[in-house]
Each structure stands twice: as structure tokens, then as C-alpha cells.
Amino acid sequence: MERRRLVRVPASSANLGPGFDAFAAALALHTEVEVVETGTFAVVTDLAIARDRRNLVVRGFERLHPPDRFEFRIRSEIPLSGGLGTSAAAYVAGLMAADHLFELDADLLAHATELEGHPDNVAAALLGGFVICADGAATRFDAPTGLEAILVVPHEAVRTKEARAALPREVPMADAVHNIAAASLLTLGLARGDWDLVSRGLTDRLHQPHRAHLFPRSAALLDHARDLGALGATISGAGPTVLVWCHYEQTGAVLEALRREADGWATVLRAPFETRGADVTEL
């Protein structure tokens, strides 16, 4: 009998403004991977991704078990580039499939973090909700009721390697202090459902200003989002996607305004914050 597992993993947005490599949130766009024990190795997908051992789902699976006898059927609604955790979702899908098939009870967060290089996206993909990562662990909590998200996904991608290279080796003390304060305000605002604190806590001086030249239209939305009625906006991960934060009463108007703003250069998507993390089903 063929063993089969279906894994569903959400997208994620990391940094969330001031929380560089420590904050992230899951979003309601998903990657689905069906892993079938056919006796031969294959990757089946319509996506523009590797179909051999370089495939990130396969690499995640192989971390825990050889993939030689398995077929990996991959589909996804997460944009492949833009800073929405596609690589994290792929690694998590492969790891979860192998862990469930062979009842390994592995430390999936640790394995996924080693594969991805940082914990924020993989933690949000695994756990759902909002996560704060520190000391090898992730603390999860739900978004406050009424908080919604809109994505502005530019048609032109920016390579993560290029975005990382734009960061300075050292930052002024005043900028570091600003981000500590902003991250604290954001955390407190999310915990209390205080929209003013959330809005004030979305500012950043450590990474977004240094990457702005790579995606000037996205960067312009960061300051302009409040003029459109949003709570604020953050660059999603390394960019260039913009995560626009809204209270539900303003979401409809902000969505229409963003569609006008992004006409011709980006796609606008309504993507709620996702409470559920990755899950696996035995077929």
C-alpha cells in the first residue's frame, strides 16, 4: 500500500518592521505538498522550481529520511518571490511529511531553522499566528480581533542575497534604541489590541531604510500607507512585498486605494493573518 501524506503550510511575513529576524506572522496563503511512496523519486509541479534533489521540499524531507522512494506533488498560492516565506514553507512541508511518515518526533523548528538560516519565517509557518523568536525558541500568540492584512506584491522581484548585502555591518546606537522601543510598542499593541500602539510600533531604522533603493515604490508605501487609512506598513521579510496593516473597518477602503496606487507595477492581495500553522493529513 502506498503511504501518502498531505502537508499544508502557510506563508509568512518576517521582521514586521522593527523585529529584524525575530518577529514574524503567518498569512492565509498556502503551499500544499502531497508526498506519495511510489517506489521512485519524482517532483511533480507546475511551479517554476527545481524538480530534482535541489528542490527545497525534498531537501527538507531528506534532512530526516532519504527521498528515493517518494513522489512530491507540489502546488502553492504563495508568490515565489517577494519575501513571503516560500522557502520556509517548502522546508517545513518536507520536514513535516518525513516526520509524520516515519514517526520521528523530530525538533522541526531546529531543523527548519538550520535549513533556512534564521528562525522567524519557519516558526510562523510551523506554529501560525504571530511569533517572537529568541534563544532557539519561538513564542506564539494570536492576532488581536479586528487586525487584517493586505499584501502589495511587486511584479519585479529582488533577490534576498542582494537585500541582505544592502544592510550595514554596524548601526548607530540611536537606531538600535529606536527599534527596541518600537518592537516593544508593537508587541504590547498586539497583546492589548491597541491600534495606536500597533501603528506606532511598525517603524524601523535597522533594515528598511537601507533597502529602500532596491524597491523605491514599495518603500514609498511605508510612509504613505497611513494617508490611505491603514495603521501602517512594513516590508515583508527582505522585500519587495509590502504588508499593509489595517483595522477591519478600514480594510475595504484601503484595499481599493492600494489597487489604484499599485496599478501597473504590483498585485494587491487580501491575505488575513493565519492562526493555524502547518498541518499534515494521512491520505
User: Which residues, in sequence order, are bridge partners of residue 23?
Assistant: 132
Q: Which three cell numbers stand for residue 113?
A: 531553522
Q: Find the angle CA(97)-CA(68)-CA(102) to the nearest 5 degrees.
A: 35
Extract the C-alpha cell encoding 32.
500544499
Instruction: Specify the fold of 4-142+274-282.
Output: Ribosomal Protein S5; domain 2 (3.30.230)
Measured in residues, the chain has a length of: 283
Inter-helix orientation angle 120-127/108-116, to 10°: 140
Strand pairing category for 147-154 and 23-37: unpaired
pLDDT at residue number 235: 97
Residue 172 has φ and ψ, to the nearest 5°, of -60, 150
| Cα–Cα distance measured from residue 261 to residue 279, given in angstroms and rounded to the nearest whole number | 36
Q: Measured between alpha carbons, how far is 234 from 242 in angstroms, rounded to an integer?
A: 6
For residue 275, the 8-state DSSP code is: -
> pTM of the full predicted structure?
0.95
Distance CA 254, CA 265 (A): 17
pLDDT tens for 30-54 read 999 999 999 999 999 999 999 999 9
> What residues does each domain of the chain span?
4-142+274-282, 147-270
Where the chain has pLDDT below 50, the residues are none
Class of 147-270 per CATH?
alpha beta
The SS3 assignment for 82 reads: coil
Residue 118 has which C-alpha cell? 534564521
The pLDDT assigned to 283 comes to 86
Q: Which pLDDT belongs to residue 241?
A: 97
- Residues 6 or more apart whose Cβ sits within 8 Å of residue 264: none
Q: Determine the Cα–Cα distance for residues 36 and 83; give it in Å rounded to an integer.
A: 29
- pLDDT value at residue 1: 61
SS3 content of the chain, % helix, strand, coil (to 5): 35, 25, 35
Look at residue 160 in the predicted model and tell me its pLDDT: 83
